[in-house]
Structure 1
């Protein structure tokens, strides 16, 4: 799903809200998550999952075209761990809202 598709779906479901307001809401939420991760913090959305950052150590990689060895620097990467409810829905479990 693209950001624009998410906004369109929200606009259809919440027709009393302006499209521009929904765009701002989605942008603020995603920006806050990105800012928290950039600061090295963890973001947990109960029932959905948790975003965090992980450190990758430097290593020796290989250029797939030439086979030449390449030094890959250490870096910090975003990581997502799905929550129990999200895992259940993706794996065909019951919808938590149906309870």
Structure 2
């Protein structure tokens, strides 16, 4: 498995793709991340065309087990960020 792309590598690739400098590409990436964080944090969803949909889902309270002691305990309800991958991306990886 290949190493994941770092933020520096992503900014450099984005700058090449945009035909802009790395500072502009970094600002664009930071802006996209801020928008996604704000929208999903508020309970909304963001669709990235060709990539997928990022959304927040609420999980109900449930019983969990402490793996160290085996003790059962109640875990409070919480929220979790999920992502559904777009069919186009799945097909490009598998095809």
TM over 0.5: yes
Instruction: After TM superposition, list the pairs within 5 Å mapping 1:11-30 onto structure 2.
Output: 11-14=15-18, 16-30=19-33
For structure 1, which runs of at least 5 residues remain unmatched after alignment? 94-99
Using structure 1 for the length normalisation, give the TM-score: 0.81
Rounded Cα–Cα distance in structure 2 between residues aligned with 1:66 and 1:28: 44
Aligned residue number for residue 73 of structure 1: 76
For structure 2, which runs of at least 5 residues remain unmatched after alignment? none
Aligned residue number for residue 57 of structure 1: 60
How many residues get paired? Answer: 91
Aligned residue number for residue 42 of structure 1: 45
How much has 1:12 moved relative to structure 2?
3.8
How much has 1:13 moved relative to structure 2?
3.9
Rounded Cα–Cα distance in structure 2 between residues aligned with 1:39 and 1:85: 27
Rounded Cα–Cα distance in structure 1 between residues aligned with 2:7 and 2:74: 35
Rounded Cα–Cα distance in structure 2 between residues aligned with 1:90 and 1:64: 36
Using structure 2 for the length normalisation, give the TM-score: 0.84
